[in-house]
C-alpha cells in the first residue's frame, strides 16, 4: 500500500495556502463512513482554516458509500474501510496508489451513563448480559456497516441470534446506536468504539471480548473520477499529521503512523 509522505514544509505550505484567498480556494467533496464522523467534524474546519479550501462531507455507512461510488457518484476523497477501498480498486473506481491506512477501530459495548455496568469480559459473560438485557441496538447489517455486519455474526456464534431479534432496535441507516441508548430506547449499544463515545450520556463498557472482536482499518483514497486531486492530496497529508493523530486517539481510534 502506498503512503503519502508529509514533507517538513507542509505546515508552511498550508499557511501560504490559507493566505492565498478565495481566488484559489477549492471545494473538496468527501464521502466518509460514520465511524470517522466525530474525527472529521473536528479536523475538517481546522484544515479549512489552514488551507483555505472548503471541505464538504457526506457521512454514511461504508456499504452505502461503496454503492454510490460504484453507481457513478463523484467525489474527491473517500474515507472508508480498507476492504472497501480494495474492492473499489479492483473495480477501477479508485486511483491506484492513492490509498493509505488512517486508523484502526474496535467494536465496543456501551450502556447509558450512570446505568449498572454488566460483565462483558468473556464471550460467555457477554452472552449472559445480552440475554438479560431488555433491548439492544446495533447497526442494521443489511445496510452494510462494518460493526453491524460483524455483530450479527457474533450473535450467531453465541447462539442467540433468533432470541435477540425481538429486542433489537436498529438505528436509521447512517445513524448511531448510541443515540438510541442515550435516549433511553435501548439498554445496550454495540458499534465502533469511536461512534459510541462520540455521544454524550453514554458509558463505554469496553471492546468485544477475546476473539469475538473485529478490528477495522479505515483508509483514505482518491477516486478515479476526482475534480480536485491536488486539494484532496493536501487533505490526505493533513490527516496523516500528528495533530490529526491526536484527535483520532481522543475519539477512540488507534491512529496508524506513517512508517517513514
* SS3 readout for 73-108: CCCCEEEEEHHHHHHHHHCCCECCCCCEEEEEEEEE
Q: How far is CA 176 from CA 38, 100, 237, in A?
A: 11, 26, 28
- DSSP-derived 3-state class of residue 161: helix
- pLDDT recorded at residue 24: 66
Q: Which fold has domain 10-104+216-255?
A: D-Maltodextrin-Binding Protein; domain 2 (3.40.190)
- pLDDT recorded at residue 19: 36
Nearest to 176 by CA among 209, 207, 201: 201
Same fold, 10-104+216-255 and 105-212: yes
148, three cell numbers: 453491524
- pLDDT recorded at residue 216: 93
CA angle at 177 for the pair 175 and 180, rounded to the nearest 5°: 100
**pLDDT tens figures, 240-256:** 999 999 999 999 999 99
Nearest to 82 by CA among 256, 260, 258, 259: 256
Cβ atoms of residues 204 and 197 within 8 Å? yes
- DSSP-derived 3-state class of residue 154: helix
pTM (2 d.p.): 0.80
Give dist(CA 149, CA 237) in Å, integer.
31
Give dist(CA 243, CA 43) in Å, integer.
9
57, three cell numbers: 462531507
239, three cell numbers: 490527516
- pLDDT recorded at residue 25: 81
Four-way CATH pick for 105-212: 3.40.190.10, 3.40.50.720, 3.20.20.70, 1.10.260.40: 3.40.190.10
- pLDDT recorded at residue 241: 94
Please list, residue by residue across 79-93, b when 16 or more beta carbons sit within 10 angstroms of its beta carbon and e when fewer do. Answer: bbbbebbebbbeeeb
Residue ranges of domains in the chain: 10-104+216-255, 105-212
Low-confidence ranges of the chain (pLDDT < 50): 1-23, 259-260
How many of the other CB atoms lie within 10 Å of CB of 251?
Answer: 24
Q: How far is CA 91 from CA 30, 85, 200, 236, in A?
A: 19, 10, 39, 22
Amino acid at each position: 500500500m502506498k503512503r503519502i509522505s508529509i514533507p517538513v514544509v507542509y505546515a508552511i505550505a498550508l499557511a501560504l495556502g490559507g493566505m492565498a484567498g478565495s481566488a484559489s480556494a477549492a471545494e473538496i467533496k468527501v464521502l466518509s463512513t460514520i465511524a470517522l464522523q466525530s474525527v472529521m467534524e473536528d479536523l475538517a474546519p481546522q484544515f479549512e482554516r489552514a488551507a483555505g479550501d472548503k471541505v464538504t462531507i457526506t457521512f454514511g455507512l461504508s456499504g452505502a458509500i461503496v454503492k454510490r461510488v460504484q453507481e457513478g457518484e463523484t467525489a474527491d476523497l473517500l474515507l472508508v474501510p480498507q476492504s472497501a477501498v480494495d474492492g473499489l480498486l479492483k473495480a477501477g473506481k479508485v486511483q491506484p496508489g492513492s490509498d493509505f491506512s488512517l486508523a484502526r477501530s474496535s467494536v465496543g459495548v456501551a450502556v447509558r451513563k450512570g446505568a449498572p455496568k454488566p460483565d462483558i469480559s468473556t464471550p460467555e459473560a457477554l452472552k449472559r448480559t445480552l440475554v438479560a438485557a431488555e433491548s439492544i441496538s446495533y447497526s442494521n447489517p443489511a445496510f452494510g456497516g462494518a460493526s453491524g455486519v460483524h455483530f450479527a455474526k457474533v450473535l450467531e456464534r453465541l447462539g442467540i441470534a433468533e432470541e435477540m431479534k425481538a429486542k433489537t432496535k436498529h438505528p436509521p441507516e447512517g445513524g448511531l446506536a448510541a443515540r438510541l441508548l442515550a435516549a433511553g430506547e435501548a439498554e445496550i449499544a454495540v458499534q465502533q468504539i469511536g461512534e459510541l463515545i462520540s455521544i454524550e450520556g453514554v458509558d463505554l463498557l469496553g471492546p468485544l471480548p477475546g476473539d469475538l472482536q473485529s478490528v477495522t482499518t479505515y483508509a483514505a483514497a482518491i477516486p478515479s473520477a476526482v475534480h480536485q486531486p491536488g486539494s484532496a492530496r493536501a487533505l490526505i497529508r493533513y490527516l496523516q499529521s500528528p495533530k490529526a493523530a491526536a484527535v483520532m486517539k481522543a475519539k477512540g481510534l488507534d491512529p496508524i503512523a506513517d512508517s517513514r
